[in-house]
Amino acid sequence: MTELLSRPAGTGAIAALIMDLQSLGLRIETRLETSRTGGAGPTDSGMLWIEGVPVTVPPSTTSPYSLRAEDGGQGIYRDGVKLASVGGTARPRFYDLTTADGIPYHQIALLHLDSLASTVVQACNYWGNSDQCGFCGIGISLAAGATIARKTPEMLAEVAVAAKELDGAVDATLTTGSSVAPDRGALYVAKCGQAVKEAAGLPVEVQFEPPRQLSTIDEVHGMGVDAVGIHIESFDPAVLARVAPGKFRTGIETYFRTWEYAVERFGEGRVSTYVILGMGEDPEVTIAGCKRAVDMGVYPFVVPLRPVAGSLMADVPAPSREYTEPIYRKVAGFLADRGLGADTAVAGCARCQACSSLNLVQRETGRPPGGRPELPLLQIARRPA
């Protein structure tokens, strides 16, 4: 048996639909202008607005859900029944521009719905050796010629201004491959973030591995960026050792120490970490790690595994909604009790939310930050698979 939306409905039903789509994918039966392949995070996805909600969804030729053209727009269907309207999938206009020396803007940064994103150094000391993270595709887009190896602060500032003015970008998310340098690449990505913020006025999140010295966080903060993402990927040590051995050696406690220090500088809700579901982790260990992070003011951005073509985990299936939803609900409750939400993130993945249903679940439960009502049942009907 599987749960299925019986008709367009409220936030709860849309949350259920998006969780299913991020597990089962979406058959594309019409033109989808915005998509992404390769890269360092959840990727190989189409980018669309479902009933006004930003979503990334993996394309699939076998999904029971399909994207179809309609008069004046697009819709998501299953078994001939329309479940939701889709809009806002036009190709960003700034993609057609180039720098003075001929580099296409889209090789410098991409628009993830309304968030400008770039990997400023498209290389990682974990890539191509025994430390390579199983879920990551940072080297794939570079090898395919879709991006350039190193973006300068000046390039990123130029592109950010165009993305804001032409396509309405509302924030910027800058990440980098891990470096062997003591700062792990944090200072360069922060310098890029500073340039974007000064030129375009956008809120900026920068993402990096825990630096060797916590004082590096002070330097990053001093450059004026708004938020930081320091991504552990899994709280389960056995999983971390298997899928991200370099991060495992850094140590889970090192992440907690770094987050605690960063929250003191940036404030609660402005420090986040990716937590990927579907890699064989213990759900209880995952939930406990998320609670500990939330209790210190860190936003654990819980996402389903997005298998990346060409990555070490390309053949690992995305987790089902039956698996992810209970974890979302637990973490959403922790966030509400702490007074954290997507609106406290200011910039970055936790602000955008397109790769997760966590914020939708928090909204659907009627528990905005600080609220405590009971969790209602989703507005869905059961049908045979």
pLDDT in tens, 366-383: 665 543 333 333 333 222
pLDDT in tens, 166-183: 999 999 999 999 999 999
pLDDT band at 72; cut points 50, 70, 90 = confident
Residue 149's CB is within 10 A of a number of other CB atoms, namely: 10
Q: How much is the average pLDDT of 104-114?
A: 95
CB-based contact 208:237 (threshold 8 Å): no
- Looking at residue 371, its pLDDT comes to 39
pLDDT in tens, 17-40: 999 999 999 999 988 765 545 455
- Looking at residue 7, its pLDDT comes to 38
User: What is the SS3 assignment for the chain?
Assistant: CEEECCCCCCHHHHHHHHHHHHHHCEEECCCCCCEECCECCCCCEEEEEECCEEEEECECCCCCEEEEEECCEEEEEECCEEEEEEECCCCCHHHHCECCCCCEHHHCCEEECCEEEEECECCCCCCCCCCCCCCCEHHHHHHCCCCCCECCHHHHHHHHHHHHHHHCCCEEEEECCCCCCCCCCHHHHHHHHHHHHHHHCCCEEEECCCCCCCHHHHHHHHCCCCEEECCCECCCHHHHHHHCHHHHHHCHHHHHHHHHHHHHHHCCCCEEEEEEECCCCCHHHHHHHHHHHHHCCCEEEEEECCCCCCCCCCCCCCCCHHHHHHHHHHHHHHHHHHCCCHHHHCCCHHHHCCCCCHHHHHHHCCCCCCCCCCCCCCCCEEECC
pLDDT band at 88; cut points 50, 70, 90 = low
- Looking at residue 90, its pLDDT comes to 82
pLDDT at 348 over 70: yes
> Bridge partners of 4?
381
Q: Which of 89-93, 283-287, 321-325 shows the lowest per-residue confidence on average (mean pLDDT)?
A: 89-93
pLDDT in tens, 113-144: 899 999 999 999 999 999 999 999 999 988 88
pLDDT at 255 over 80: yes
Q: How much is the average pLDDT of 46-53?
A: 90
- Both tokens of 87, joined, read 């809009």
- In angstroms, rounded to a whole number, what is the distance separating the alpha carbons of residues 181 and 310? 27
- Looking at residue 4, its pLDDT comes to 41
Average pLDDT of the chain, as a whole number: 89
Q: How much is the average pLDDT of 345-371?
A: 83
